[in-house]
Amino acid sequence: MRNSTKMIILSVIAIGFCGLYLFHDLNGSFDYALPRRAIKVIAMVLTGVAIAYSTVIFQTITHNRILTPSIMGLDSLYLLLQTVVIFFLGSGHFTIVNRHVNFILSVSTMIVFALILYQLLFKRGSRPIYFLLLVGIIIGTFFQSISTFLQVLIDPNEFLRVQDKMFASFNNVSGELVWWALGIVILTFVVGWKYFNDLDVLSLGRDTAINLGVSYDRVVKMMLVISAVLISVSTALVGPITFFGLIVANLSYQFFNSYRHIVLIAGASVMSVIALVGGQWVVERIFTFSTTLSVIINFVGGVYFIYLLLKESRSS
């Protein structure tokens, strides 16, 4: 089956799930329920595309298909920021209550952290990308330790508010924040569009890419920035989803027989829409909100991650 045919089939399935989520059991509530469902669908599509895009390009520049951008510690920084604000200022502070302020604070903090980290690690010449990953793992673990320590000391009532921030949720997404995030993601895509061909060459390795005329260090730095922006926006909008990018990216690699990143990213994006919209419908209609979508995704993603590790160990 050709890749174009596969893409059409996946797109039809994604549109079908979106239509099912929007109109199933609507009972004529077009003025109240439909606009709110539409905002949630847009948020899920936006989050899925951002995570899929960032994960594919991150795995390309690291040449490792079991890594995700969360290894840089951005998810841990987000949770630390929310924990620190609630611990010292309380859950009633305007930085928590006001979603717009919280969104701007979270996105700006994560992006500034990523830029400072990249600047410090790359300012003294070219460093191996794995050195950056090692530093990201250490910083992420450090952030998690501080968050856990503060959560043990925090008031139990305040901890409930922190707990809400630990898992991704599409139930209370702000409509205005969705449009803000959409603008940032579209701008990021416009900037990253011209690098798709360079990513195809980067997948051949550093030396080969340099020999073929690609400015390797510049492209890698730009892709790291784009990945950080997308993950920051998606995390600040709905919360952290650890293993979701790992699932959709690897499924795209297996389903599409192509090296072209425009195909792989588009395929991963459509798969992410199917997983998020379809999964959210199952959570709401079948499980009746007894669990959250992020818990299911992290469980399935964790099992899939173990499978990939075992597969890689057998192949080596």
For the segment 186-207, what is each residue's pLDDT rounded down to a tens digit?
999 999 998 999 999 998 888 8
**pLDDT tier at 133, thresholds 50, 70, 90:** confident
Average pLDDT (94-108) is: 91
Alpha helices in 154-286 (DSSP H): 156-166, 175-192, 196-202, 206-211, 216-238, 244-255, 261-285
Q: How high is the pLDDT of residue 126?
A: 58
Residue 188 lies in a domain: yes
Residue 62 has pLDDT above 70, yes or no: yes
Q: CB burial class (10 A; 0-12, 13-18, 19+) of residue 223?
A: buried
Averaged confidence pLDDT in the chain = 87
At 276, which CATH number?
Answer: 1.10.3470.10
Residue 314 lies in a domain: no
Residue type, 279: G
Per-residue confidence (pLDDT) for residue 284, from 0 to 100:
86
The CA distance from 225 to 108, in Å, is: 13
Q: Looking at the domain assignment, is residue 160 inside a domain? A: yes
Residue 264 lies in a domain: yes
DSSP-derived secondary structure letter, 290? S
268-302 per-position pLDDT tens digit: 999 999 999 998 998 888 887 777 787 788 777 77
* Domain contains 234: yes
125: containing domain: 8-24+31-307
Average pLDDT over residues 256-270: 92
Q: What is the model's pLDDT at position 205?
A: 85
Given a cut of 80, whether residue 33 has pLDDT beyond it is yes
User: pTM of whole model > 0.85?
Assistant: yes
Domain membership flag for residue 42:
yes
- Percentage of the chain surpassing pLDDT 90? 44
| Residue 218 falls inside a structural domain | yes
Identify residue 153 by its one-letter amino acid code. Answer: L
Residue 154 is classified by DSSP as: S
Residue predicted with more confidence, 228 or 118: 228
315 lies in a domain?
Answer: no
Residue 106 in this model has a pLDDT that exceeds 90? yes
Predicted pLDDT at 316: 63
Highest mean pLDDT among 13-22, 209-218, 283-292: 13-22
- At residue 124 the predicted structure's pLDDT band, cuts being 50, 70 and 90, is low
Phi/psi at 95 (5° precision): -70, -20
Among 282, 257, 247, which residue's Cα sits nearest to residue 59? 247
Rounded to an integer, what distance in angstroms lies between the CA atom of residue 101 and that of residue 176? 12
Number of domains in the chain: 1
Q: Would you call 213 exposed, middle or buried from its count of C-beta atoms within 10 A (0-12, 13-18, 19+)?
A: exposed
